[in-house]
Amino acid sequence: MKTFDQQAAGRVIYELTAVIQKNRDYLSEIDGATGDGDHGVNMNKGFTKCREQLEGGGEGRSLSEAMDLLGDILLSEIGGSMGPLYGTFFMEMAENIGGKAQIGAEDFLGMLKAGLAGIRALVPTEIGDKTLLDVLVPSVAAFETALAVGKDFDAALDTLKVAAAESREATKDMVAKVGRASRLGERSRGFYDAGATSCALILASLADSVQALLR
Amino acid sequence: MQRIINNPDLVVEEMLKGYVKNHRDIVAPTDNPRVVKYVGAPVPGKVGVVTGGGSGHKPAFIGYVGRNMCDAAAIGEIFSSPTAKAFCDAFAAADAGKGVACLYGNYAGDNMNVKLAVKMAQKQGIEVKTVVANDDAASAPKDQAEKRRGGAGEIFVWKVGGAKAAQGGSLDEVVAVAQKAVDNTRSVGIGLTPCTIPAVGKPNFQIEDGKMELGIGHHGEPGVSVTDLRTADEIAELMLDIILPDLPFESGNDVAVLVSGLGATPVMECYVVFNRAFDILEEKGIHVYRSYVGNYFTSLEMMGVTITVMRLDAELKALLDEEADSMGLKQFRPRQ
């Protein structure tokens, strides 16, 4: 049964902040096709501030502490919809694993589910509305199914990454029902959703970093 | 883009600094640069009244912070909700121990951030109750009222909520009267040109020359129809054709009317629209008790107007008549 020491895993979030920084322009470009074009800039603002506060690459911080820091920054610095959505996501995940020393596959699943539940309590958005939930929900479900059929933590994280990429791809064919892109109606079809894209990046980065800790 | 700005990313910061300098007799800055409060807030013994929203709607939202109006406002980026922290800090700035009424408009981001802020405030021992304005009658069918956006009707909600708090109303009483204002108010907008967020640099939607969009939202949300541009009188008729049957407003009602420009409309043209709207209402036996015409709730440099009508009872009339001293709404004389 593979686990990782969450008390020494602050690096997972440090590595995530680099992924968002690297994709700043890409996220804004995707957002610009159907929305305000500010998604990458807003995300980068919050994640960069978190990166600056994670001295030494997140060493000496637990994963829970690092996620709590990120969530707090997103809630206090980034308004709009993404601040509260991702802020809640990371705060709820931080709280969920706060008392644990080692994180196994089931703990990681529980953490993701807590983050998802936090978002779902906040918004009435449905699956298929072309939002980040269209990546988060199927990705968490795929991870759970992988564990149920007997895959180990590392292999289930591979499944999670594949599901995140595929479900993000699937948002391209959806028609936006909420957010500014909903103005375009049918014309929003054919474009990726910016929130779904950042969500896929976040899940892939978390999975990569945890796999590195497991190996 | 023809705009008078410095760094497009700092428009909100620089606007706020200028605003506080100019209106220092009414508002004061707080420790949170995205929260502005009434100079007298928290007013001892009074229920706090708070609002907030994205920038780009001047005078909304901070323009309605003042005496007998809102005690504090949370300020977001242009067309983007303030943070949960900003709403929470606004609650703290307004709270005199009697609780806080948060009166704001129905937008996804604002709903989320207010919800989180109310929880944060609870942990600090501040009781907050919320009223969400959904007066934009063109934004969703009547049976899906929970999906309707907030519009310029929010100004009436702040006016009566602020007056009730000033007259010593309890938190429950302030919230009840604000909800009554929402329930009796309907708005509709019309757009002739799009607007541009400075940091984006280009309009995020288009309206063809010679066309108009009926039912457009405060951020360019889609309306109910795009048609050839009509005359001001016809526009007033089309807009009231949506508003009046929705409540419905009926002969014998007393109402308050607000006609607001969307930023680029000459105020002169707002009066042209109001002129016809007033006559239509009177012809239908709907009496205009009080009215407001000007730039009350704008959308950057969008060309267009909104019309808002609120049905009045004795309580709403009395609260509407209360004095108010904010940048966006000043009222000192009794109604003639």
Query: Which 3 state secondary structure label does DSSP give B59?
Result: coil
Verify whether the Cβ–Cβ distance B109 to A84 is below 8 Å. yes
B80-106 mean pLDDT: 97
A139-158 mean pLDDT: 98
pLDDT tens, B317-331?
A: 999 999 999 999 999
B247 and B258 fall within a common domain: yes
- The pLDDT value given to residue A189: 87
- The pLDDT value given to residue A194: 92
pLDDT at B214 over 90: yes
Residues of A in contact with B76 (CB under 8 A): 79-80
B293 and B159 fall within a common domain: no
B177 and B238 fall within a common domain: no
- The pLDDT value given to residue B334: 76
Q: What is the ipTM of this complex?
A: 0.86
- The pLDDT value given to residue B336: 63
- The pLDDT value given to residue A89: 98
Taking the alpha carbons at both ends of chain A, their separation in whole angstroms is 13
Give me the percent of chain B exceeding a pLDDT of 70.
Answer: 100
pLDDT tens, B27-45?
A: 999 999 999 999 999 999 9
Band the pLDDT of B110: cuts 50, 70, 90: very high
- The pLDDT value given to residue B204: 73
Is B323 part of any domain?
A: no
- The pLDDT value given to residue B220: 86
Q: Cβ(B60)–Cβ(B296) under 8 Å?
A: yes
DSSP-derived pairing of the beta strands B303-312 and B287-294 = unpaired
pLDDT at A184 over 80: no
Nearest CA in chain A to B53: A80
Q: How far is B53 from chain A (nearest CA, A)?
A: 9
- The pLDDT value given to residue B55: 96
Nearest CA in chain A to B110: A80
B96 and B145 fall within a common domain: yes
B166 and B270 fall within a common domain: no
B239 and B132 fall within a common domain: no
Of B79, B108, B112, Cβ closest to residue A36: B79
B199 and B255 fall within a common domain: yes
DSSP-derived pairing of the beta strands A102-103 and A4-5 = antiparallel
B81-98 mean pLDDT: 97
Is B318 part of any domain?
A: no
Is B322 part of any domain?
A: no
- Least confident residue range of A99-103, A128-132, B100-104, B237-241: A128-132
Per the structure, the complete domain to which residue B21 belongs is given by: 9-183
B98 and B246 fall within a common domain: no
Verify whether the Cβ–Cβ distance A38 to B82 is below 8 Å. no
Q: Give burial (CB, 10 Å; 0-12/13-18/19+) of B149.
A: buried
Interior CA angle at B152 toward B151 and B154, to 5°?
Answer: 85
Q: How far is A115 from chain B (nearest CA, A)?
A: 15
- The pLDDT value given to residue B96: 98
Q: What mean pLDDT value characterizes chain A?
A: 93
- The pLDDT value given to residue A1: 64
Of B112, B115, B219, Cβ closest to residue A81: B112
- The pLDDT value given to residue A207: 98
Please give the Cα distance from B133 to A74 (Å, whole number): 26
pLDDT tens, A54-86?
A: 988 888 899 999 999 999 999 999 989 999 999
What is the CA A56 to chain-centroid distance, rounded?
23
Is B321 part of any domain?
A: no
CATH number, residue B66: 3.40.50.10440
Q: Give burial (CB, 10 Å; 0-12/13-18/19+) of B91.
A: buried
Is B221 part of any domain?
A: yes
A166-191 mean pLDDT: 85
B177 and B165 fall within a common domain: yes
Residues of A in contact with B86 (CB under 8 A): 79
Residue B219 is a catalytic residue:
yes
pLDDT at A151 over 80: yes
Tell which of B183, B198, B220 closes a domain: B183
Q: Cβ(B261)–Cβ(B270) under 8 Å?
A: yes
Q: Which of B204, B207, B216 is most worth mutating to test chain A (most A CB atoms within 10 A of its CB)?
A: B204
Residue B57 is a catalytic residue:
yes
Tokens (6 digits) for B275: 């002129």
Farthest-apart Cα atoms in chain B, separation: 55
- pTM across the whole model: 0.93
Tell which of B152, B183, B214 closes a domain: B183
Please give the Cα distance from A85 to A148 (Å, whole number): 28
B28 and B177 fall within a common domain: yes
Q: Say which residue the tokens 């009231």 belong to.
A: B240
B231 and B273 fall within a common domain: yes
Q: Which position has the higher pLDDT, A25 or A144?
A: A144
Q: Which of B113, B134, B207, B221 is most worth mutating to test chain A (most A CB atoms within 10 A of its CB)?
A: B113
CA-based nearest residue to A210, from A1, A16, A54: A16
- The pLDDT value given to residue B222: 83
Q: Cβ(B48)–Cβ(B71) under 8 Å?
A: yes
Other beta carbons within 10 Å of A61: 24
Is B319 part of any domain?
A: no
Is B16 part of any domain?
A: yes
Give me the percent of chain A exceeding a pLDDT of 70.
Answer: 99
Interior CA angle at B63 toward B59 and B68, to 5°?
Answer: 140
Q: Cβ(B149)–Cβ(B107) under 8 Å?
A: yes
Provide the domain count of chain B: 2
Q: B68: Cβ–Cβ under 8 A, 6 or more apart, which residues? A: B162, B163, B166, B322, B323, B324, B325
The structural domains of chain A, ordered by start, are 4-214 (1.25.40.340)
B133 and B191 fall within a common domain: no
Of A37, A84, A182, Cβ closest to residue B112: A84
Is B33 part of any domain?
A: yes
Q: Which position has the higher pLDDT, A166 or B223?
A: A166
CATH number, residue B248: 3.30.1180.20
Q: Which of B119, B200, B216 is most worth mutating to test chain A (most A CB atoms within 10 A of its CB)?
A: B200
